[in-house]
Structure formats: structure tokens, C-alpha cells
Structure 1
Amino acid sequence: MKKLFTGIMILLTLTAIAQSAKEDYEAIAETVNYYLIGGTNNDFETLSKAFHSEANMTYLNADGYQQVNALEFFKKGMKPGPAQNRKTRIVSIDATGHAAQAKLEIEYDTFYFHDYMQLLKIDGEWKIISKTFYKQNK
């Protein structure tokens, strides 16, 4: 009887962990989709839901290593207008506890952006705290 009780408790614990992981995966996907959908539609309000206010963005350009506040960068560069002609997808999501990372791909006619997002679950809400990206020509 004791073994049966222990087995049931282990099963219930594993089920709860699996359910929690599924809920986190879905919440992380929702967060990164705010970024993808907002960017596609030139909608800063939607995009900004994905980021922590102090999130940084790092990248390399002709001037070398760059680090900027992500929201300031997008607010300055995003202009209202028609939706962009691009395809987006979530390549992967990996989460442990309150930390996660997501790899995203954004495809334009002549190039791809490969985005690597670091996220934290802050006050019960997943937020992007860091974005690093690479632009790959086709």
C-alpha cells in the first residue's frame, strides 16, 4: 500500500510539473509573439508588451559591438504603416524555473534575422530582458 501511495504521489507531482511547464511554454510563446506580431504590423504598443523596460539589445554592425535599450531602439525606429512583408516563426523555447530563452527567425525577401531572446518570469509575467540577433543574407 505504501508503494502504491508513493507511486501515486510521484505521478501527481510529475503531472503538476508537466502542466506548469506547458503553461510556461505557452506564456513564453505569447510574449515573443507580441514582439513578432508588433514588429510585423509596425505596432509599437503590441511589441512593447514583450519587453522589460530595461531590456537591452546587442548586435554587431560596421561600427562593431552595439548595446542599446531595446524599447528605445524600436520606439525610435518603428513608423506606423502597412504590415511588413515577412515570415516569422518560433524556432525553439527552453525554460527552467523563472529563466528562459527563445530562438526566433524572421524571413524577408533577401535576408533573415535570427533573434536570441533571454526571458525572465518577473512578478508572474514572462518578459524579454535581452535580445541578441544576427542578420543573414540569403
Structure 2
Amino acid sequence: MKNIVLTLTLLTMGISTEMKAQQTDVQAIEKTLNYYLTGFKNNDAVTLSKAFHPTATMKWSGENYKEVNAIEALTKGMDGTPKKEKIFTRVVSINATRNAASAQLEIEFPTFTYIDFMHVLKIDGNWKIVSKIFTKREKE
């Protein structure tokens, strides 16, 4: 009986420790994602760049499929002046397992919304966006 209680106690402690670690990781991922959202909203290349690995890609399809370096494409023309339009941003979801995660974000402008899908990896102890794909939803 003592072995069963000990086993259950250790199992519970292990699950609790893993859940706390995952919760901490989700908070760190959200912080990374908010560097991107805040930097985007404020035209702040320095803040936005904190979110991305230097070789992160951004991909999308419209008339043609395109793939670019995310930091270069997103920071081009950023001067630190916040956007004049009212923009609402939010992290819709984060799905994390060990050192990998995916997230869905929304950046809502008055007439359309960008929907971003991010892949995030824990690299040298820090969470970084390594790829972004997105689509655009027009408002009706």
C-alpha cells in the first residue's frame, strides 16, 4: 500500500512539475509573440526583431506564392512612429510541446484582419519565431 501511495505521489508531483514548466513556456512564448505584435503596431523594428530568429521566414500566397526573410520584410520602412489606424491585436491560441510551439494571432485593422500562424522554437533557452504564414480576411 505504501508503494502505491508513493508511486501516486511521485506521479502527481511529476505531472504538476511538467504542467508548471509548460505554463512557464506558454508565458515565455506569449512574451515573444507580443514583441512581434507591439513592434508591428508601433512601427518599432527593434522590438519586432526580438521576436524572430534571424533566419525566420515569412510565406504567403496571393497571386503568387512568396517567401522572404521575415525580419527584413516586416521591418522595411519602420521608423518608430505608431500606426495611425486603430489596430487591435490578440493571441488567439498557443499550442506548445517541449521545445516547439505553434500560435495563431490576429491583427485587426478597420477594414481587414491579418491572421498569422507562427511556428516558434526554443533556441538556446529563448523562444523565437522561426516561420510565419499569414492570410488576410476582408471585413464585410
The TM tier, using the shorter chain, reads: over 0.9
Within 1, Cα distance between the matches of 2:9 and 2:82?
Answer: 55
Aligned residue in 1 for 2:11: 10
Aligned residue in 1 for 2:93: 92
Aligned residue in 1 for 2:52: 51
Q: How many corresponding residue pairs?
A: 137
Within 1, Cα distance between the matches of 2:78 and 2:60?
Answer: 18
**Unaligned stretches of 5+ in structure 1?**
none
Aligned residue in 2 for 1:75: 75
Q: Which moved more, 1:50-59 or 1:67-76?
A: 67-76
Secondary structure of the corresponding residue to residue 82 of structure 1? coil
Matching of residues 116-135 of structure 1 within 5 Å: 116-135=117-136
Letter in 1 for 2:53: H
Across the aligned residues of Structure 1 and Structure 2, the Cα RMSD in angstroms comes to 1.0
Letter in 2 for 1:69: N
CA deviation string 1:54-94 (max 9, x = no partner):
000001233x0000000111222423323442000000000
Shift of 1:106: 0.7
Aligned residue in 2 for 1:104: 105
Secondary structure of the corresponding residue to residue 37 of structure 1? helix
Letter in 2 for 1:74: L
Within 1, Cα distance between the matches of 2:58 and 2:78?
Answer: 15
Secondary structure of the corresponding residue to residue 38 of structure 2? helix
Within 2, Cα distance between the matches of 1:117 and 1:98?
Answer: 14
Q: What TM-score results when the alignment is normalised by the length of structure 2?
A: 0.94
4+ residue runs of structure 1 moved beyond 3 angstroms? Answer: none
Aligned residue in 1 for 2:66: 66
Work out the percentage of aligned pairs sharing the same amino acid.
Answer: 45
Aligned residue in 2 for 1:137: 138
Within 2, Cα distance between the matches of 1:79 and 1:58?
Answer: 24
**Unaligned stretches of 5+ in structure 2?**
none
Secondary structure of the corresponding residue to residue 76 of structure 2? helix
